[in-house]
Amino acid sequence: MWTVCRAELPAYVYDLTALRAHVVGIRAALPAELELWYAAKANPATPVLQALADTVDGVEVASGGELAHVSAALPTTRIAFGGPAKTDAELDAATRAHRVHVESTHELRRLGLAAAGRRTLVHVLLRVNPPLRVGPAALGMGGGQFGIDPADLPACLDIVHRDPWLVLSGVHTHLASGLAATEQVALARRTVDWARTLPVPVAEVNLGGGMGVDYTAPTDRFGWTEFGAGLRDILAAAPELRLRIEPGRSVTAYCGWYAAAVADVKRSRGKAFALLYGGTHQLRTPAAKGHDQPFDVLPVDRWDRPWRRPEVAGEPVTLAGQLCTPKDVLARDVPVARLRVGDRVVFGLAGAYAWNISHQDFLMHPRPAFHYL
C-alpha cells in the first residue's frame, strides 16, 4: 500500500481520504436531525481534526489542553467541554464553549462563578449517571466515578434556576464503551425515555460515544445503518428533543497504521518471539485493552549479513517491543506464514487511542515518524 524505508520506522501513517469517506458514510447513515460530534481525545492530531471538520457538528473536548488545541486547529467549529475534575482555569476557559458538561453540584456552582466573572451565559448539560442497564459492554462508564447521581438532580436544577448566568440545555450520558449497534439503540431508547421523565423540560440529550470497534475483525464496522434507523424511530417518538452523539474510537480507529521493523526473531522456552524496533510506548492500545493488535507482514527480501537470517514460519509468534517490561506485547501467539529479521510489521486500527495514549518517553526512544496521506 505504501513504501517506507527502514530508517523512517517506526512510523504512523494516517489515510485522511479514507477517514473523510468513513465519516461521510457515518453521517449519511444517521438521521439528518441527529448531531454528530467527534470526541477529540480519541485522536486530536490537527490533520485528523481538519479532515473531520466539515462533516461533524462539533468537537467534544475533555480538558483545557484539548480546548486550547481544538479551538486553535478549528477556530470556527463548535466545542463542548466535558471531563472529570475540571480546574477553575478550565471552567473559566469553558465559558467560551458551546456546551459545558457538568459532573457535580460543586462543579456547577463553580461554573456559575466563572460565568458571572465573564458576564456570559453558559449552556449546561448535566452529565448524569442514570440507573439504566447497559448491554455486555467492553468498558462500562456508569460505575459512579463519572456524572451526577439522579438523586442530586433536584439540587442541580435549584442551582441553575438561581444562577442568572447558567442555562440548562439538557442532559449528557456516556454509559459504555464498545457496544454494538443493537445495544446502542436499546440504550439510547432507555436514556431518552428516562430523560423525558425528568421534572424539567430537557431540550437536548447527548448520548455520548462508545460505538464498538472490533479489534478481532479489522474489516468489520459498527452498524451505523441499524443505529441510524433506530435513532430515526426514537426521534419520531420524541420530536421535541435535540439528540447528539459524540463517538471517538469508531470514527478514527480505522484510518491509522503503525509500522515497525523486526529487530530480532528468537525462540525461547518453546515459543517464538519477534522483537520490534517500536512497541507499546508508541502504540499502547493492545496493552491498554488487552487485545492482539491486528497486523500484516510486509516482507523485505534484502539481507546482507554473513549469517543465516533468523525467521519463524507457519507458527504462532508473539510480537514484543523495545521496553523492559513484559507488558510490552503488541500481539500474542498469532500465527504467521513467515516473519524474518528486517521484515516490517504494519499494525492496523491504530488511528484512535493509539499514539496519544502511549507513554512515549518511557526508555527515551526516538519518536516515530508521522505521515498524513
Ligand X SMILES: *Cc1c(COP(=O)(O)O)cnc(C)c1O
Nearer to ligand X, 225 or 318 (CB): 225
Q: How far is CA 358 from the centre of its chain?
A: 13
CA end-to-end span of the chain: 11
**Per-residue exposure over 2-20, b if at least 16 CB sit within 10 Å of its own CB, e if not:** eebeeeebbbbbbbbeebe
Q: How far is the CB of 255 from ligand X (least distance, A)?
A: 14
Report, in Å, the least distance between residue 286 CB and ligand X: 16
Show contacts with ligand X in window 176-195 (CB under 6 A). Answer: 177
The Cα–Cα gap between 330 and 181 comes to 28
- With contacts defined by CB under 6 A, name the span among 67-75, 112-120, 230-238, 247-255 that binds ligand X: 247-255
**Cell representation of residue 188:** 439510547
Contact (CB, 8 A) for 198 and 128: no
Sequence-separated (6 or more) residues with CB below 8 Å from residue 274: 262, 264, 265, 312, 317, 318, 319, 320, 339, 345
- Interface with ligand X, residue 211, by CB under 6 A: yes
Nearer to ligand X, 241 or 245 (CB): 245
Q: Largest Cα–Cα distance in the chain?
A: 80
The piece of 35-43, 45-53, 156-164, 256-264 that touches ligand X (CB under 6 A) is 35-43
The CB-of-225 to ligand X minimum distance in angstroms stands at 18
Query: 221 vs 31, 170, 227, CA distance in Å?
Result: 18, 30, 12
Choose which of 9, 13, 39, 168 interacts with ligand X (CB under 6 A).
39
- The verdict on whether 324 is a catalytic residue reads yes
Given 9, 34, 42, 175, the residue binding ligand X (CB under 6 A): 42
Of 62 and 100, nearer to ligand X (C-beta) is 62
The number of residues that bind ligand X (CB under 6 A) is: 17
Q: How far is the CB of 86 from ligand X (least distance, A)?
A: 13
Nearest to 328 by CA among 294, 283, 263, 265: 283
Q: How far is the CB of 99 from ligand X (least distance, A)?
A: 12
| Residues written for the chain | 373
Region binding ligand X by CB under 6 A among candidate stretches 12-20, 36-44, 266-274, 341-349: 36-44
- Residue 41 or 86: the one with the smaller Cβ distance to ligand X is 41
Footprint of ligand X on residues 59-118 (CB under 6 A)? 60, 62, 82
Parallel/antiparallel/unpaired status of strands 256-268 and 11-14: antiparallel
CB of 141 to ligand X, least distance (A): 7
Window 248 to 307, contacts with ligand X (CB under 6 A): 248-250
Tell me: does residue 209 bind ligand X (CB under 6 A): yes
Asked if residue 41 binds ligand X (CB under 6 A), the reply is yes
| The C-alpha cell that represents 153 in the structure block | 438532580
Q: What are phi and psi of 265, to 5 degrees?
A: -135, 130
Spot the catalytic one: 5, 156, 255, 324. Answer: 324
Q: How far apart are CA 265 and CA 275, in angstroms?
A: 6
In the complex, which residue's CB is closest to ligand X? Answer: 209
Question: Can residue 210 be called a binding residue for ligand X (CB under 6 A)?
Answer: yes
* Closest distance to ligand X from the beta carbon of 182 (Å): 17
The answer to the question of residue 368 lying near ligand X (CB under 6 A) is no
Q: Is the Cβ of residue 22 or residue 174 nearer to ligand X in the bound state?
A: 174
| Cβ-based nearer residue to ligand X, 43 or 95 | 43
CB of 272 to ligand X, least distance (A): 34
Which of 22, 86, 174, 284 touches ligand X (CB under 6 A)? 174
Q: Which residues are catalytic?
A: 324
- Which stretches of the chain bind ligand X, using CB under 6 A? 39, 41-42, 60, 62, 82, 174, 177, 208-211, 246-250
